[in-house]
Amino acid sequence: MIDAKYLDVKNLSVHFKGRFRIFRGHGEGVWALKSVSFSVGRGETLSVVGESGSGKTTLLRSLLGLVTSTDGNVELWGRAIGTMSADELLAARRRCGYIIQDPYSSLPPTLTVLGAVLEPWNVVHGRGGHGVAKAKALLSELKLPEELWGARVRYSLSGGQRQRVAVARALILAPELLLCDEPTAMQDVSTRGEVLDVLNRRVRSGMSMVLVTHDLLLARHAASRAIVLYKGEIVESGDTSELLERPTHSYTRALLAALPKL
């Protein structure tokens, strides 16, 4: 049974004002999300699947109150984020981790690898304690070579390595809810599985996860349940294996048809 105290989204809609001539018509503004509803309980992973522009990143940002919703409600651990004070919202956010899609813009470029992972710990707990040991353990678990730990993020890392640093940075505070925006997009085939294994171990220990991806096969490996977003609306949801084997919506079938085949 889903524990609604973790994450409960009800009829969430987001409208951006302005004129978008090359995106979804010529009218004023655009609906990035339309009446999206789902719940995620303790120790559960939900995959959110859709192409670029379907509203996946806007959805993740809305869950933390980083994007203001036009309608609907988001509850974290039984509390609507719209009713929280600034301090309460900050406390709720500290129980969450967020892996941003682009590791080039999400990591502080002047810090070392170890410093970038440690930064959230230092902000919340202050310097010292078990932070350094936790950061080193995470970097080892994610198989980032030790000789890179003292290197500057700006000059020394590939995209895939930066992405693993971003994963470690999101996990160091042991989040109860992790929001992942394409966390393996820059990984090759071998390291993609390693990153997913690290995340799935946390889920088995009780962490909840919302994972955004455009790849239905990745969604199946990461989660037993998925929703498919198209132009900001959920067009299909349910068991991930069921969606792969018997998709009912034409958009889901198109996503499957776009997957590369041997």
pLDDT in tens, 184-212: 888 887 788 899 999 999 999 999 999 99
Helix (H, G, I), strand (E, B) or coil at 128: coil
Q: Which residue has the higher pLDDT, 87 or 105?
A: 87
Instruction: Work out the percent of the chain whose per-residue pLDDT is above 70.
Output: 94
List, for residues 27-77, the tens digit of each pLDDT value: 578 899 999 999 999 999 999 999 888 999 999 999 999 999 999 999 999
pLDDT at 172 over 90: yes
Structural domain contains residue 134: no
* Separation CA 193–CA 167 (nearest Å): 14
Structural domain contains residue 108: no
* Separation CA 123–CA 172 (nearest Å): 12
Q: What is the pLDDT of residue 3?
A: 47
Do 8 and 208 form a contact (C-beta atoms < 8 A)?
no
Query: Residue 105 belongs to what H/E stretch?
Result: helix 103-106
pLDDT at 4 over 60: no
Do 239 and 224 form a contact (C-beta atoms < 8 A)?
yes
pLDDT at 252 over 80: yes
* Domain range enclosing 51: 1-95+208-262
Q: What is the pLDDT of residue 21?
A: 53
Structural domain contains residue 246: yes
Amino acid letter for position 115: G
Contacting residues for 150 by C-beta, under 8 A, at least 6 apart: 112, 113, 114
Structural domain contains residue 178: no
* Separation CA 262–CA 258 (nearest Å): 13
Banded pLDDT at 215 (limits 50, 70, 90):
confident
Q: What is the pLDDT of residue 198?
A: 94
Average pLDDT value over all residues in the chain: 89
Structural domain contains residue 100: no
Domains in the chain: how many in total? Answer: 1
Do 171 and 164 form a contact (C-beta atoms < 8 A)?
no
pLDDT at 223 over 80: yes
Strand segments (E) across the chain: 7-19, 28-40, 45-49, 71-76, 79-80, 96-99, 177-181, 208-213, 225-230, 233-239
Structural domain contains residue 13: yes
Write the CATH number for 262. Answer: 3.40.50.300
Q: What is the pLDDT of residue 36?
A: 95
pLDDT at 1 over 90: no
Kindly state the tokens that stand for 14.
């987001």
Structural domain contains residue 138: no
Q: What is the pLDDT of residue 27?
A: 57
Helix (H, G, I), strand (E, B) or coil at 216: helix
pLDDT at 240 over 60: yes
Q: Which residue has the higher pLDDT, 157 or 84?
A: 84
What number is the average pLDDT over the span 96-122?
Answer: 91
Angle made by CA atoms 6, 177, 130, in degrees to the nearest 5: 130
Max avg pLDDT among 41-45, 152-156, 249-253: 41-45
pLDDT at 10 over 80: yes
Mean pLDDT is lowest, of 24-28, 95-99, 116-120, for 24-28
Helix (H, G, I), strand (E, B) or coil at 78: coil
Q: What is the pLDDT of residue 232?
A: 93
Structural domain contains residue 158: no
* Separation CA 51–CA 213 (nearest Å): 8
pLDDT at 126 over 90: no
- Residue 142 C-beta-side C-alpha neighbours within 13 Å: 32
